[in-house]
Chains A and B, each alone.
Chain A
Amino acid sequence: MNELVEHGNPQNWYLVLSTILFSIGVMGVLFRRNGLIILMCVELMLNSVNLLLVSFSAYSGNTEGQVFVFFIMVVAAAEVAVGLALLVSIYRNLASTDINILSKLKW
C-alpha cells in the first residue's frame, strides 16, 4: 500500500478508500441476516462507487462523473424507498427482519 501511495498520485488514496468501503458493503450484504442492515450495506456500496466517480471526475477535470453521481443518488433513493417499504411489510407479517426466514419460495 505504501508503494501505491508513494509512487502514485493522491488519487490512489480515494481508490483505496472506496475499495475498502465497497468490500465492507459486500461483506455486510453477504454475512448479515438482518434485512435492514443489508439495505444499509447496499447503500454503502453505492456510495463507495459515488466517491470513486467524484474523485475520477475531479482528477480528469470534467463533470461527467459528477452527473452520474446525481443519477445514482436518485436511483438509490428510489431503491431505498421500495426496499424499506418491503421490509416494513415483511416485519408486519413475520415480526422479524431476518431474511433467512424468507425461504418459502423454492423448488
Chain B
Amino acid sequence: MDNFINLTQLITPASLIPLFPLLGFFITALFGKQLKHFSGWFASAMILLSFGLALHLFLNLPANQSLNFNLFNWIKWGNINLAFGFLIDPLSLVMLLVVTGIGFLIHLYSIGYMHHDEGFSRFFSYLNLFIFFMLLLVMGNSYLIMFIGWEGVGLCSYLLIGFWFKNDSYNDAAKKAFIMNRVGDLGFLIGMFFMLFYLGGLDFETVNANAINYPAGSSLLVAITLLLFVGAMGKSAQIPLYTWLPDAMAGPTPVSALIHAATMVTAGIYMIARSNLIFALAPFTMEVVMWVGVITSIFAAIIGIKQTDIKKVLAYSTVSQLGLMFAALGIGAFESGMFHVVTHAFFKALLFLGAGSVIHAMGGEQDMRYMGGLGKYIRITWLTFLIGTLAISGIFPFAGFFSKDEILAASFGANKTVWILLSISSMMTVFYMFRLFFLTFSKSFRGTEEQKHHLHESPWTMTLPLIVLAIFSVGAGFLGMPAVMSSTHYFSQYLAPVFEGSKSLITEHHHADHGTELMLIGIALSAAAISIGLAWSFYVSKNQIPEDEPQGLSKWVANKFYIDELYNTIIVKPIMVISDILFVLVDKLVVDLIVMAAAWIVGFTGRTLRLVQTGNTGFYIFAMVIGMMVLMFIQLVY
C-alpha cells in the first residue's frame, strides 16, 4: 500500500520532466530577441529543473518497481486505442539522467561557446526542443510516443546541423542527415504497423505480452525486429546508413557533443534494449545486429585512423563505439550495451566539448595538422581531454575500461571471432585517439603566428562542464566492476528488472571464471598499451604529420573508402535522372497540361460571360422576366 501511494505521487514530477524544456523552447524562441544572452541561462535552468525531477524520481522510485501511467487517450479508432503515456523504469531513468544531466552541462558549455553567435537564442531554443523530444523518446510507454520523440530529435538534429544555414555545404549535411534518417524511420514505421496489426497494440506491455505467445524465431517477430533495427541503423549511424553522422559535424560543436555523441545516436541502442524481449525471441535478428555492429565498429575505426579534422575523428569514433554497443546487444548482453551507452555519453561528450574548446582557442581551426603543442596553452582542456582519451581507450581505472571490458568479456563467451574483431577495433580506437591527442596537444605549434597569439583557455562556463564530465569519465565505471574486482555490479543489478524477461531466452553464456576474466583484461590493456606506444612513436618520436595527399591504401582510407561517392553514383544520381525524366514527361506534359487547360477554360468562360453585365437596368429586368417565364414554362410542361 505504501508503494502504491508513493508511485502515484511520482506521476506529477514525471509528467513535468518533459514540460520544462518545452517551456524553455517556447520562451527562448518567442522572446529570444528581448532575452538576449539571458536566454542561454534560462534554457539551462529549464534543463536543470528537469534533471532535478529526474533525480527525484531516481531516488524515490522503489527498487524493482516501474511507474507506467497514461496521461490521456490519444487515438481511438475501432479496436485500436492508443494512449499517450509515460513509463518510468530503471532503463528510462538511466537515460533520463544521462539526457538531462549531460544536456545541462552542454547547455552551460554552449553559453560560452556560442557567446558571439548572432543566433544565440535560436540555438538554445533548438537545444531545448531537442531535449524535450529526447525525453519523450525515452519516457514514452509505447512505440508511438517513442516514435514522436524519434522524429522530433531527427528534426532538431536537422535544424542544428544546418544551424549556420548561410553555408551551403552545412545545409547539404543537414539534408543528408534528415533524408538518411527517413530511410531508417520508414523501417521503424512499418515495424510499428506490423506490431499494431499482429501484436494488438503499440505499448510495450501489450507488445511483450502478445509476443511471448509466438515461438522463438517466428518469421513475424524476425520481420518486426529487423524493421525496428533498420530504424536503429538510421538513427544510430550503422552500416549502411552511417555516412550522415560524420557530415553532421557541420553543426556547432556542443550539438555534436549532445546530439551526435551522447544522446540522440544512442536512441537506437535504447530502442533495442527497450524491446529486448522481442529481440530475444528473434535469434536471427540478434545475429544480424551483432554482425552489423561488429563490422561498423571495425570499419569506422579504420576510417578514423586517417582523418585530419579533429571532429571527424571523433565522429568516426562515435560510429565505431555505437557499433560496439550494437555488438553487445546482438550477443544478448543488454546491460553491458547500456552501460557502455552511459560511460560513452560521459567521455564522448567530454571529448567533443574538449575539441570545441580547442577549436575555440584556435579561432575556428579544425584541422589537426595546424595544431600541435596546445597542451602548454590550454591546461584544463589538455588535462580533461587526456582523461577522456584514456577513458575511451579503456585504460584502468577510467570509465571506458569497465564497460568495454564487459562487452569484450561477453563476446569472448559468445563468439571468439567477434571477440577478436572487437579487440582489433578497440586497438584501433586507442591508436586514433592518441594520434588525435598527440597531434593536437604535443610537440610544437604548427599554426600561424596570429593563431598562436590568440590561443587562450575558454571561460569558466566551458571549462566547468569539462571538469564535471572528466570526473564522471573517471568515476562512472565503478558502477559496474567486473566480478573479479567486486561482487556487486550495481549497474546491471539496477537494470535487471528490465531485462528479466529476455534473460531466460538468451542462451546463457556461463560467466567467465576469474582466471579468464583477468586474462581478457590483461590482453585488452596490453593491446591498448601497444597502440599508445605506436601512436607515440609515429606522432611524437618521429614527429609525423599526416600528409596532404596520401598515396596508395591510405588514400582510400583518408577518403573514407569512397563510400559517399559510391552512394552518390548508385543512389543519388539515378534518383536525380529519374526525377528529371519524370519532371519533363509527367510534370510538364501531363500535369501542367491538365492544370493549364482547366485555367484556360475558366478564363475563357469568364471573359465571354462577363459581356452579359451591360450595366443597363432595363436589360437586367428584361432578363429576369424572361427567366421567370422560362421557369414557369418548364413548370407547366413537366
Interface residues of A (CB under 8 A from B): 26, 29-30, 33, 99-100, 102-107
Contacts and interface: CB of A to CB of B under 8 A. Distances in A.
B622 A30 contact: yes
Contacts of A104: 615
Contact of A103 (B611, B616, B625): B616
Contacts of B614: 103, 106-107
Interface of B: 610-611, 613-618, 621-622, 625
B613 A102 contact: no
Contacts of B611: 107
Given A30-B625, A33-B618, A104-B615, 15 more contacts: A26-B625, A99-B618, A100-B616, A100-B618, A102-B615, A102-B617, A103-B617, A105-B613, A105-B615, A106-B613, A106-B615, A106-B616, A107-B610, A107-B611, A107-B615
Nearest to B619: A103
B233 to A, nearest CB: 65
9 contacts: A26-B625, A30-B618, A100-B616, A100-B617, A103-B617, A106-B614, A106-B616, A107-B610, A107-B615
Contacts of B615: 102-107
Contact of B621 (A30, A102, A105): A30
A29 B617 CA distance: 10
Nearest to B607: A107
Label chain A's interface by main secondary structure: loop
A30 B617 CA distance: 10
Nearest to B617: A99
Contacts of A100: 616-618
B366 to A, nearest CB: 68
Contacts of A26: 625
Contacts of A33: 618
Contacts of B613: 105-107
Closest 8 CB pairs of A and B: A106-B615, A103-B615, A107-B610, A99-B617, A107-B613, A103-B616, A106-B613, A105-B615
A30 B610 CA distance: 22
Contacts of A105: 613, 615
A105 B622 CA distance: 17
A44 B205 CA distance: 82
A76 B346 CA distance: 87
Contacts of B621: 29-30
A99 B622 CA distance: 14
A11 B615 CA distance: 42
